[in-house]
Amino acid sequence: MSDSSSVGIVTPQTAHFSEPLSLKSGAMLAEYDLVYETYGTLNADKSNAVLICHALSGTHHVAGRYSEDDKYPGWWDNMIGPGKPLDTNRFFVIGVNNLGGCHGSTGPRTINPATGKPWGSAFPVVTVDDWVVSQARLADHLGIHSFAAIIGGSLGGMQAMQWALVYPERIKNALVIAAAPNLTAQNMAFNEVARQAIITDPEFHAGDYYEHGVVPRRGLRIARMLGHITYLSDDAMGAKFGRKLKHDEVRYGFDVEFEMESYLRYQGDKFAETFDANTYLRMTRALDYFDPAAESGGDLSAVLGKATADFLVISFTSDWRFSPGRSREIVKALLDNELTVSYAELTAAHGHDAFLMPDPHYHAIVRAYLENIEFGKTQ
The residues binding a copy of itself (CB under 8 A) are 24-27, 124-125, 127, 182-186, 188-190, 192-193, 195-197, 199-202, 218, 221-222, 225-226, 228-229, 232-234, 237-238, 240-243, 250, 252-254, 257-258, 260-261, 264-265, 268, 281, 285, 288-289, 291, 294, 320
Q: What is the distance between the alpha carbons of residues 76 and 355, in angstroms, rounded to a whole number?
A: 9
Q: What is the distance between the alpha carbons of residues 177 and 107, in angstroms, rounded to a whole number?
A: 26
Helix 128-141 vs helix 277-289: angle between axes, to the nearest 10 degrees?
A: 100
The yes-or-no answer on residue 205 being catalytic is no
CA angle 62, 259, 69 (to 5 degrees): 35
The yes-or-no answer on residue 319 being catalytic is yes
Paired with 244 in beta bridges are: none
Taking the complex as a whole, how short is the minimal distance between the CB of residue 242 and a copy of itself, in angstroms? Answer: 6
Q: Other CB atoms closer than 10 Å to residue 335's CB: what's the count?
A: 15
Taking the complex as a whole, how short is the minimal distance between the CB of residue 256 and a copy of itself, in angstroms? Answer: 9
- Taking the least distance from each CB to a copy of itself, the nearer of 60 and 228 is 228
Taking the complex as a whole, how short is the minimal distance between the CB of residue 286 and a copy of itself, in angstroms? Answer: 11
Residue 99 is given by DSSP the state T
Single out the residue of 160, 57, 59 nearest to residue 366, CA to CA.
Answer: 160
- Taking the least distance from each CB to a copy of itself, the nearer of 66 and 320 is 320
Q: What is the distance between the alpha carbons of residues 64 and 378, in angstroms, rounded to a whole number?
A: 23
| Alpha carbon of residue 192 to chain centroid | 19
H helix runs in the chain, sequence order = 128-141, 155-166, 185-199, 217-231, 234-240, 259-274, 277-289, 300-304, 324-336, 360-371
The yes-or-no answer on residue 16 being catalytic is no
- Taking the least distance from each CB to a copy of itself, the nearer of 114 and 250 is 250
Catalytic entry in 60, 61, 228, 352 = 352
Taking the complex as a whole, how short is the minimal distance between the CB of residue 186 and a copy of itself, in angstroms? Answer: 4
* Strand, helix or coil for residue 130: helix
| Alpha carbon of residue 39 to chain centroid | 18
Write the CB contacts of 30 (distance below 8 Å, at least 6 apart in sequence). 20, 113, 114
- Taking the least distance from each CB to a copy of itself, the nearer of 161 and 222 is 222
Catalytic entry in 6, 105, 134, 154 = 154
Q: Other CB atoms closer than 10 Å to residue 305's CB: what's the count?
A: 17
Taking the complex as a whole, how short is the minimal distance between the CB of residue 345 and a copy of itself, in angstroms? Answer: 18
- Taking the least distance from each CB to a copy of itself, the nearer of 66 and 258 is 258
Taking the complex as a whole, how short is the minimal distance between the CB of residue 318 and a copy of itself, in angstroms? Answer: 12
- Taking the least distance from each CB to a copy of itself, the nearer of 140 and 257 is 257
Q: What is the distance between the alpha carbons of residues 183 and 194, in angstroms, rounded to a whole number?
A: 15
Active site members: 154, 319, 352
